[in-house]
Amino acid sequence: MPRVIPPVPDADDRAFWDGVADDRLLLQRCADCRVVQHPPSPMCPQCQSVDREWFEVSGRGSVYSWIQSHHPTAPDEKPRIVALIDLDEGARIVSNLDGIDLDAVEPGLPVEVFFAEVDGTKLPQFRPVNHG
């Protein structure tokens, strides 16, 4: 059973997935008040503007929260850590955390993005900054 349901990009998130395909992490921000948001949406949550722009982010951030994922019927080969990442640019993103044992994860752990194919779908993933 595949772990990933492939995304079906629409007008709101197509730029995000196009960036992922090119190994680039893109976020949306309001062109008027500059509030960064993820996931993308058609309207700014701060000022309600519909003028949006996309920009490439560093892909660096820190772990805010995490869980070990347990699929009820098709367990992963190795434990999967799903983390909420605070990106340096001010948005949060949910992703897998790789390259670290569960007991070594802690709040504020510095991480960086990398891109990997999971069940045939390229996804942004994160690993500790000092990953070898």
pLDDT of residue 91: 95
Note whether 42 and 65 are same-domain residues. Answer: no
Tell me how far CA of residue 6 lies from CA of 2, 32, 120, 121, in angstroms. Answer: 10, 32, 8, 6
- pLDDT of 10 reads 94
**Whether residue 94 sits in one domain with residue 41:** no
User: Do residues 62 and 116 share a domain?
Assistant: yes
Considering the domain architecture, whether residues 125 and 104 belong to the same structural domain is answered as yes
User: Picking from 47-61, 62-76, 81-95, which range would have the lowest pLDDT averaged per residue?
Assistant: 62-76
Residues 64 and 124 in one domain: yes
Number of domains in the chain: 2
Q: Could you tell me which residue, 108 or 70, shows the higher pLDDT?
A: 108
Q: In what order do the strands lie in the sheet with 52-56?
A: 36-37, 26-30, 52-56
Task: Say yes or no: 127 and 81 in one domain.
Answer: yes
Nearest Cα neighbor of 16 from 132, 95, 77, 102 is 95
Q: Which domain holds residue 43?
A: 11-56
Q: Please report the pLDDT score of residue 58 as a whole number.
A: 97
Q: Which one-letter DSSP state was computed for residue 67?
A: E
* CATH assignment at residue 104: 2.40.50
Same domain flag for 80 and 129: yes
The model's pLDDT over 98-108, given as tens digits with 9 standing for 90+, comes to 999 999 999 99
In angstroms, how far is CA 60 from the centroid of its own chain? 11
d(CA 114, CA 86) in angstroms, rounded, equals 15
CA R_g for the chain: 15
The answer to whether 87 and 106 have CB atoms below 8 angstroms apart is no
7-40 residue pLDDT tens: 999 999 999 999 999 999 999 999 999 999 999 9
- Same domain (yes/no): 36, 83: no
80 shares a domain with 28: no
The pTM assigned to this predicted structure is: 0.90
